[in-house]
Every structure is written in structure tokens, then in C-alpha cells.
Amino acid sequence: MEHGRLGSNAKATAGAYYFDGWAGRKGLAGDRTAPWAENAPTHLTRRLVEEFPEREPIWGWRDDSPAIMEQQIDLAADHGLAFFAFCWYWHDNGQAINEKAIREDPKHTGLELFLRARNNHRLKFCLLVANHQGFEISGTERWRRAADFWMPYLKHPQHLTVGGKPLLIVFHPPGGDRAGFACLQEAAREAGLPGVAVAACGGGAAEMGYTHATHYAITLGYTAGSEVHRYAELLQPHEEAWRGSREQPYMPVVTAGWDKRPWEGPRGLKQQPGWYFPDRTPEQFADLLRRAATWMQQHPEQTTAERIVMIYAWNEFGEGGFIAPTRGDPNGRYLEALRSVVMPAASKASG
């Protein structure tokens, strides 16, 4: 691919994953030996506060207020983002759905605030079902119950549609259930919908019921030991992953950054050390996003007619994948990079 041709007439409908880890209360809150945790949201770590203060959003570490959600919606929409993909979690792993716990879970605060926001008409939304260990939906009947629970979201006028059908993204596709997906499609039709576009996040067979494919993030050396690498090294894995078919269109992902050191070790979330890529820049992010748009332009038979591209992420501050403005980027250079690709005319006018 010739670099000079990147982005010529390329179009993209860009959405960003929204991680709901910045509400609720940290378990250490109130502990006098951990003053940094006072009023801390669930996923704030000591390493994040003390070693990576530049990652703090311009509105602070907490995002659980209507005003902050409306601020985020305006920022996203003003810079060309089309939708948020909110992480959604089943409760009581392998057990019956606990609807009360789900509705009260701080990990769903952002989604509920979005639905009540006065300006939510400016963005679409969809769900990323975080179907991984600790939150797995096990068995057909539980998928049926989940489908019933999701239906009001899927029917919401601001829900993102692909080919006219609401989009549901499933993390950890091997945990899916073919019969459960059939129940989901049946429930959708009974609710007056034409069906559901079900995207496998990270690989999943069409025979299982996955109609589309995408990824959450693409990185290298996840638990290979603490080792610094260049963000440019992620270009090739991305371009190799961008593959789809008419049977299962692919929505390319663009990883805005990867550096999960705040999650690692006893001062983090006790995760194992892995490679990190601290030299990312807005220009590199824009280049990768432009390449994704160009790939969709050149391979329309492998992607969605809407040319949807997924951005990792809006607010994964702990993992280093974020485009929301922070103390280290108060003017929103990553948002400007996004707008330069998806709204080039607006960028030129403002420049």
C-alpha cells in the first residue's frame, strides 16, 4: 500500500470502546493507610495515581455524573466519533442472571448515564458483552435470559445498527452458545426487530451464530515480561488481522495505545508484566486509523457497508488505550487526530 494514497476518499464510521471502570468505590476507600484511594473508583490503582498521573482525565478519575457523561458525548461527537461500545457484564459466573446486581453494578454506570443524557441523540451506542472468566454466560437458557434483558437496549432508538440490525459484540467468542444465539435472534424478531448482528470479538465461527467479526485490542507480549517496545511494531499485527468475508464482515480495530503497567504487580491489579508501547503519538494513531479506513475502501466485500471501525479505546486509562483528553493531553490531540481522519473538511476549516 502506498503511503501517499492513505485516506484518499476513504470513509469510516468510528466507534470507541467505553470501559466502565471509573465509577463505584475502590475496596480500599476509607483506609487511612491508602489516602490515594479516598473516593477512588473501582479500577483506580496506586500505580496509576502515583506513576502515571498524566493519564487522569480532564474531569478527574471519576466519570459517574450526568454532567461528565454529557461532556464526554459532546467531545466525542464534536470530533467525529459515531458511537460508544459499552462493556456489559453478566453476574454470578455460570449462575442465573441477577438483574438487580446488574442494574446496580458500577461497571454499567456509564451506559445508564448515557441513556439518560440530554444530548445522547448526538451518539449511537452498542454493547460489548464481556463474556470472559468471572462473567461468563453459561448455557442456552442463560443466553435466552440475557437476550430478554438486552432487548430494551437493542430496541433503543440510539442503538447502533449494522445492515439494519442492532449490533451486539461478544468478547471471548468461544464462550458463545449457538442455540443461545438462535434464541437471541428469535427474541429480536418477536420484538419487531429484523434480527441482531452478532460480532465475534477476537475470532468466532459463523456456524456458531456470529454474523460479524472484530477485535477489542491488538497487542503483543501480553504476559511476556516487562519490556519496552515501539508503537510502530503494532502496525503489522493490525494489518494482518484486518480480514473478513461476505459471510462474516470484519470491522477493523485500531488500538490507540497499549501500556498496562498501572495494572501490573501488587501496586496495580496484580496482573503479570507484559510488553508496553509508550511512544505512541496522535500522528501515529491517525495514520493507523487512516490505514483502516483505506483498507475498508479497498476491500468492501470484507467489511460492513457502514464501514465501521472500532477504536480501542475511549477510556482504558489503565491499559494505555485511550483517546479522551487527559492531564497529559488537555487539548485533546488524539481527538483532533480522530477528526482529521473522519471529518477532514472540519479539521481543515478549524485549522
Region for residue 96 given its phi and psi (left: phi exceeds 0; alpha: psi -120 to 50; beta: otherwise):
beta
pLDDT value of residue 106: 82
Q: Which CATH number fits domain 3-350: 3.40.50.300, 1.20.120.1200, 3.20.20.80, 3.40.1190.20?
A: 3.20.20.80
Percentage of the chain beyond pLDDT 90 is 80
Q: Where are the domains of the chain?
A: 3-350
pLDDT value of residue 349: 60
Per-residue pLDDT band for 291 (boundaries 50, 70, 90) equals very high
> 87-108: per-residue pLDDT in tens?
998 876 666 666 776 777 788 9
pLDDT score of 9 more than 60: no
pLDDT score of 3 more than 50: no
pLDDT score of 132 more than 90: no
Residue written as cell 503483543? 220
DSSP reduced 3-state for 16: strand
Within 52-121, strands assigned E span 83-88
pTM: 0.94
More confident residue, 132 or 140: 140
Q: Is the peptide bond before 197 cis (omega within 30 degrees of 0)?
A: no
pLDDT score of 1 more than 50: no
Spatial CB neighbours of 300, under 8 Å, sequence gap ≥ 6: none
**DSSP letter, residue 15:** E
More confident residue, 317 or 351: 317
Question: How long, in residues, is the chain?
Answer: 351
